[in-house]
Amino acid sequence: MGFRDKEQFEQCMQSLCAAVANSGISCSSVGVRGTAATFNSNNPNKPGHYFDKKGKGTSDLDVFFVTDKRLACAPSAAKFFHPDKIESNYPKIAEWSEEWTGTLKRETTAGAFKSSAPALDEDHIAYTCEDS
């Protein structure tokens, strides 16, 4: 959800793979999680929340990439790198976020996970980067 069609989703994911690679980060895959992937929120702090509940274009897109490279910022205990930390340390990924937020007309940011992060066991839509 949040993309016009499969082609636009793939363009967005390919573009993120490129931004991550241009930032000097090796990554195996990228993807979308949260309500854009599942429609209903699995967050216990958001009961009854679903994609675009507050109107068209109101839900953000939780995009991520997977890497085991040491990054310029520290992950959380859950092995997650918050988008704010990613964007402040990696300008190419910040540019990607700004471009796709404009294209999709909804906040679109990329966080990162270590490959062993428990959250990767939750529902998500993954896309394999070609140069992995």
The total number of structural domains that make up the chain: 1
Q: Residue 1: inside a domain, yes or no?
A: no
Window from 25-34, 57-66, 74-83, 91-100 with minimum mean pLDDT = 57-66
Q: What is the CATH number of the domain that holds 102?
A: 3.30.460
Q: What is the side-by-side strand order in the sheet with 29-33? A: 80-81, 108-113, 61-66, 29-33, 124-128
- pLDDT of residue 3 exceeding 90, the answer is no
Does 78 reside within a domain?
yes
* Closest residue by Cα to residue 31 from 97, 105, 118, 129: 129
Q: Find the domain containing 27 and state its range.
A: 6-128
The residues, ordered by sequence, that sit 6+ positions from 5 with a Cβ below 8 Å of its Cβ are none
Distance of CA 36 to the CA centre of its chain: 10
- Considering the domain boundaries, does residue 68 fall inside one? yes
Rg of the chain on CA atoms, in Å:
14
pLDDT in tens, 36-67: 666 666 666 666 665 556 767 666 788 999 99
- Please state, in angstroms and rounded to a whole number, the distance separating the CA atoms of residues 57 and 51: 9
The closest alpha carbon to 64, from 56, 53, 76, belongs to 76
